[in-house]
Amino acid sequence: MAKPDMESIKRDYCAGELSIQKVADKHGVAKSTLIDMAKKSKWVRQKKPTKSPDQINQKPRPKKTVGRSDGRTNLQSSKSIPQIENKIDSNCPVIESANDDWTLNPDEYGLNDMQARFVNEYLKDLNRVAAYKRAGYKCEGQQAYAAASILYRNLKVSRAIRDALDARERRTQITQDDVLKMWWEIATADANQITELRRLCCRHCWGFGFQYQWQDAVEFEERFADAIQKKGKEPTDVGGYGFDAQLDPNPECPRCNGMGVSRSHFHDTRDLRGAARRLYAGVKEGKFGLEVITRNQDDALKMVAQHLGMLKNRTELTGADGGPINQVNYTPEDYAKAQAALENQLPDLD
């Protein structure tokens, strides 16, 4: 593919005679790419020459009505949209409008009703096969994938989809780099910022003589009264009070051998920021306790790899019941026999 002539693109863009879309079509680049090039290179677009008094006094041409197959009518102005775009002040930002309410006009792109329906359905989830079926086409299985791909690559259809996605990007101000950054943050977020498994002290780590340590006298008295009621062994408080479950293990503790005990810890989700906030997806409380829900980091990493072209999608075609596809090789003699048979059956066929 030939490299675009930057000087020629700059000359046509700065001249202001052609619309931005026409400049992009002329040089074979996307309109959004041309806008980005103009912003980065700080190209200044010339203003459209002002109208003379004679042109101002001219009566506007009447709008003509175009009929549609569904009985409705579209009003089309005799002046094209690109000519209106040329009236934009060159001192304004290159992005034409953040509130670009783009709607599909099938007549503008030369689409039939089925193709227009496919474009609208594709914009919902960007799934060409699902859009192909929702649009009303009848193919199934691998035939649906092949037919949907052919329809998606149609020049008129692909141009309508590209313009719609460009308008959506301008409207939402979200670029491919922004989406890629979001996926990357999810894929590389540290789950320990949400929940942790900690090794903390046991009840004997910091008690006197490594005896059982109580939180306070209230806890000891409750346990003592419960033992008397059940006629069990009475506890003692020789290990003292003041147990803190957040302390590190005592490396000399003979009960846990300095390893402590495992305790799960959930951070306050109100304090989550950045990548951890994107990874966090909520909590679920069930019969087994509290469960933190996070987004799938493996899927996020796969999306990043797919966006960067590291994964190659491969479609395998198989025959009936998953078997190999039957192939038949015909010789020139076979074709000659088939042609002779057709001529005998259809003598009037030219």
Radius of gyration of the chain (CA): 36
Kindly write down the DSSP assignment for every residue of 209-225, as one continuous string: GG---BS-HHHHHHHHH
pLDDT at 316: 63
Q: Which helix (H) or strand (E) holds 73?
A: strand 73-76
Q: In a structure prediction context, what are the per-residue pLDDT tens digits for the chain, which is 350 residues long?
A: 456 678 778 888 787 778 888 878 777 778 777 787 887 887 777 765 444 444 444 444 544 444 444 444 443 433 333 333 333 333 333 333 334 567 888 888 999 999 999 999 999 888 899 999 999 998 888 888 889 999 999 999 999 998 988 888 777 777 788 888 999 999 999 999 999 999 999 999 999 999 999 999 999 999 999 999 988 899 999 999 999 999 999 999 999 999 999 999 999 988 888 899 999 999 999 888 889 999 999 999 998 888 887 876 666 666 666 667 777 777 888 878 887 887 777 666 55
Q: Write down the pTM of the prediction.
A: 0.43
Sort 48 into a burial class: Cβ within 10 Å, 0-12 / 13-18 / 19+.
Answer: middle
What pLDDT sits at residue 25?
Answer: 79
Instruction: Please tell me the number of Cα atoms within 13 Å of 27 on its side-chain side.
Output: 22
DSSP string, 123-185: HHH--HHHHHHHTT----HHHHHHHHHHHHT-HHHHHHHHHHHHHHHHHHT--HHHHHHHHHH
Best CA proximity match to 154, nearest among 187, 117, 101, 115: 115
Cβ(20)–Cβ(36) below 8 Å: no
pLDDT value of position 75: 38
> What's the pLDDT at 282?
92
